[in-house]
Structure 1
Amino acid sequence: MAEDRSGQIAVMFISERTGDDAEGYAAAADAMDRLAAQQPGYRGVDNVSADGLGITLSYWADDASAVAWRTHPEHSATREAGRGRWYKWYRLHVADIARSYSWTRE
């Protein structure tokens, strides 16, 4: 069942990949998922990708936690690698979640 995200910070990362070094990208994405989950204030992640387009939503307890993740040295280094190798472009949006709803088919 989905978690109530009310009051959390959502970091929305929307990207298009180059298609270069797919194995390197997958390894880096895996490493970043594991590293993010160890950070103070981390509350979870949702992601989807198809045809080189990706959307990743990471959830944080507060803005300070999201900023700390943005400036984490390993995350910063991987972001730079992504700019040089894996991404055609990306957009990032940060938002406060005012309300959160979910529904699940039984």
Structure 2
Amino acid sequence: MKNKIPYYAVIFTSTQTDDIEGYSEMAEKMETLARQQEGFIGIESARNTVGITVSYWKSLEAIKNWKANTEHLLAQQKGREQWYNWYNVKICKVEREYEYEKNI
């Protein structure tokens, strides 16, 4: 994911309740909406016992604007009311990155 350094990562870690009706649809909708936001770079996600979603942004201002997006605010509220037992958000500045890919 080679991006212009530095950029920012929002790390969202969570555990879910047993009532996840509508969660997948909302997660898909939020990813589509995030991709349309100014400053969005990309997203990676994994879910098992603990879910981790990392979204990448060009600036802190872009993150602030995404957090304040009306549809995103509604999704956050629904998450607190229905889908999450716990979550944690970390905002990090990425100053270096590297990757490995096996040539098959």
Q: Same fold (TM over 0.5)?
A: yes
Which of 47, 59, 62 is 2:59 aligned to?
Answer: 62
For residues 4 and 28 of structure 2, the distance between their equivalents in structure 1, rounded to whole angstroms, comes to 23
Is 1:3 matched with 2:2?
yes
- TM-score, normalised with respect to structure 2: 0.94
Return the match for 1:38 from 31, 36, 39. Answer: 36
Work out the percentage of aligned pairs sharing the same amino acid: 32
Determine the structure 1 residue equivalent to 2:84: 87
Q: 5+ residue gaps in structure 1?
A: none
Aligned residues: CA RMSD: 1.1
User: 1:4: how far off?
Assistant: 3.7
Deviation of 1:5 (Å): 6.0
**Deviation by residue 1:35-61 (Cα, 9 ceiling, x = unmatched):** 00000000000111113x100000000
Give the number of equivalent residue pairs. 103
Match of 1:75 in 2: 72
TM-superposed deviation, 1:3: 2.5
TM norm structure 1: 0.92
* Structure 2 stretches lacking a partner, 5+ long: none
Runs of 4 or more, structure 1, over 4 Å off, are none
- CA 1:5–1:18: 2 relative to 1, 3 Å: farther
